[in-house]
Structure 1
Amino acid sequence: MNRSPITIKPMSTKHIPEVIALNQAQAQRFHALDYRLTPASSYERIVTLLAQHCQNAATSLVALDTAGRVRAYAHPALWELESYDSLLAFFTERNGITHSLTLPDPDDDDVLAVTEALFSALSTFWQAQRTGSDMLRWPACESWFEALVLGQGFILDSALAYHPARAAALVEPRAYPGLHVRLSQPQDEEVLVKLFEEELQAHQPFTPFVRCSPAIIQAFRDRLALQWAGKRLEAGAPLVLVVERNGELVAMAENELYIWEDGEEPDFMPCGRYGHINNLGVRKDQRGQGIGRLLVQAIFTSLAPFKLDGYILWFNPANPLSNPFWQRLGFRQLWRTYQRPHAEASQGTIGV
């Protein structure tokens, strides 16, 4: 393992060709390991992206070896959430992130020294921004990264899983006597809120970042209001399906339409239209009876007319219920997100 000194400096125009070459090599490596990941971008596309980074207030960073060669790149940034944002159930109001994280090949001798030096510089930037939590993401197919970031104080947060639309079309429907799936209605709202709260609480033992508050519940109600008002998926409204058993609502799934366009960050997926399963909750006393599978089956059917390229969702691989459930239904991990909460920002409680 090469422990030669690594220097972190602001990126300048002379570094751009090497950053592009490193970025393209990394994307090709990812795509070779998992064909579902975005292939390498063109030279022109990366030039445009780097120019956008340079226009932002934050400084783009490069890691240089003793010969002055670029060995890594990152554009640190701050991701701020409003007090009413439902994502505060999982993140803080000020989150440290990085765009276009580009690292050496894991087989290179200097990969550990380069990555540790770059992470130290990122931490310094985030500390200056007084972040409540810091986040990193990396493809699930490269397992070496996880051991490294866990050593830096990060914790596995969640995984982005993908299910191709063509495979969903081949799923053989199952019959579930006594269960009925329908579109949610305004009179369901209080039961939906209870299911949403129960879902967040179920995450608590496995996802230490999860929190609940009146503002988060209100954000959920606001999303429901878009559907009650007749808004369309393309306009940002959710599609909320529910399951009834003998007239009693026992489960729900909140779904959205995600459209990834060329040049959009973060580039989790190739450009296209995706159904996003945002929340899926089954009442605790009704689990293990096929209700979750029935809901996913109904999601595939309900969203099929939107000509999707696939379905995506986030889940915690450490959760012994959700991990095998999604795998059995054909969802495969693409990305993993790691979070490092700061002590003063992690004192929130679960429950309202």
Structure 2
Amino acid sequence: MNNAQELLDAQQERFRRLDPALPDSYPLPRGGEPLVARTRPGEPPVAGLTTHTRQPPGSLPSLWTTTETHELFPLVGDRPHEGMDALLRAFGKQVASRSPAETDSSCLVTWPSRDVRASRALLDHGFVPLSCLAVRTRAPNVDTELSGTVKVRRAGPPDLDEVVELAMAELEYAALVGSSVLRPDAAELKRSVLRVRLRSGSSPRGISPRENTTGGDPVWLAERDEEVLGLAECGWVDTESHHGGHRLGTGLWGYVNCLSVREDQRGTGIGRDLMAMAHSDFAAAGAVGSFLYYNPANPLSPVFWHRQGYRPLWTIWEIRPATALR
């Protein structure tokens, strides 16, 4: 991979022209296995790194990914279509040599959403856009005020049962239209994590308690007549110190992990009210923006999130099972 740095530099320059919101550097894994491919004889090669990971039973990531994952991090320089096509062919041979599981396995490529030339190659090899990382860096002109139809408040430990119920409703729906996986122990895993979150009193990463009076990773509830109708589970990512922020620009970001409204209450403005409160909290903490993941195949969330001012930055392309890579 002698030309890896040249490929990376050319690729990053192209990314800057393609989408100014992309980060200044392309995230590469530590310890990845090198992969090299040629678009045609005599042409300089393209390259990449691959990883092979397994999620142990009972782990939280097993709720949003397969047990076995083969991931490719391409370095295609300024040849997005031909380079991606060649790498995917080489990636397919590599994955096949490892005898991937026939079930609960996947191949994964995360790539800038606006790079449609690379998208064509991914589609041709059988990948589907299961989820998107979307960002909101400005306040939209609509849907920013509380409607007053519900009360929005911070959740606490006594709300655990209602929070878990709403979080599970979102997971069950997402498993039908995206990358989430409904594991047998999902409710137990959710309850364990949410119990800790609701008890948390720490401040957001990167800012002091006096700069943010709400504290912790906020979980918001919408209720009417003391009946809980919706949930917004949020958090924080500081890209200067948090390993999960490498696909975002520099600064403190608000994160929307889960928005869930009772099925019989959807379309009444509850989701909008929850996000008005969440966005106000993000702004008060000095966040440079907010981000979330949504499923393009979901008939509800893309339209809602676009109206809230979010737009795709990275698309997560997958093939399930890994043996289906062509």
**Equivalent in the alignment of 1:286:** 265
CA distance in 1, matches of 2:124, 2:162: 42
Q: Shift of the alpha carbon at 1:160?
A: 0.4
- Contact kept, 8 Å, 1:192 with 1:252, in 2: the verdict is yes
3-state SS of 2:177 partner: coil
1:179 paired to 2:150: yes
* Structure 2: gaps (5+ residues): 206-214
CA distance in 2, matches of 1:157, 1:298: 28
> How does 1:33-52 map onto structure 2 within 5 Å?
33-39=18-24
1:147 paired to 2:126: no
- Alignment CA distance shift 1:332-1:196 (3 Å): same
1:27 paired to 2:12: yes
- Summarize deviations over 1:230-281 as a string: whole Å, max 9, x none: 3425479632100001211000011111122389578311232211100000
- Summarize deviations over 1:317-341 as a string: whole Å, max 9, x none: 1212111111111101000001212
Letter in 2 for 1:69: P
- Alignment CA distance shift 1:256-1:157 (3 Å): same
- Contact kept, 8 Å, 2:22 with 2:249, in 1: the verdict is yes
| Paired-residue identity, % | 26
CA distance in 2, matches of 1:86, 1:282: 22
Find the partner of 1:248 among 227, 237, 242.
227
Find the partner of 1:215 among 166, 174, 185.
185
Letter in 1 for 2:145: R
Find the partner of 2:51 among 77, 100, 103.
77
CA distance in 2, matches of 1:60, 1:217: 38
How does the TM-score come out when normalised to structure 1? Answer: 0.78
- Contact kept, 8 Å, 2:85 with 2:121, in 1: the verdict is no
> How does 1:73-222 map onto structure 2 within 5 Å?
73-99=47-73, 101-106=74-79, 110-111=82-83, 114-124=86-96, 127=99, 132-164=105-137, 167-168=138-139, 173-207=144-178, 209-222=179-192
Q: How many residue pairs align between the two structures?
A: 313
- Alignment CA distance shift 1:262-1:115 (3 Å): farther
CA distance in 2, matches of 1:339, 1:107: 18
Note the aligned Cα RMSD (angstroms). 3.1
1:319 paired to 2:298: yes
How does the TM-score come out when normalised to structure 2? Answer: 0.84
CA distance in 2, matches of 1:248, 1:172: 23
- Summarize deviations over 1:187-234 as a string: whole Å, max 9, x none: 221111111121122224422x43223432222222222233334254
- Summarize deviations over 1:53-94 as a string: whole Å, max 9, x none: 4xx3x5312224533723x12111123323233332221222
Letter in 2 for 1:120: G
Find the partner of 1:333 among 307, 312, 317.
312
**Equivalent in the alignment of 2:197:** 227
CA distance in 1, matches of 2:24, 2:294: 24
CA distance in 1, matches of 2:273, 2:148: 11
- Comparing both chains, which one has the higher relative contact order based on Cα–Cα distances under 8 Å and sequence gaps of 6 or more? 2
- Contact kept, 8 Å, 1:162 with 1:333, in 2: the verdict is yes
- Contact kept, 8 Å, 1:78 with 1:129, in 2: the verdict is no
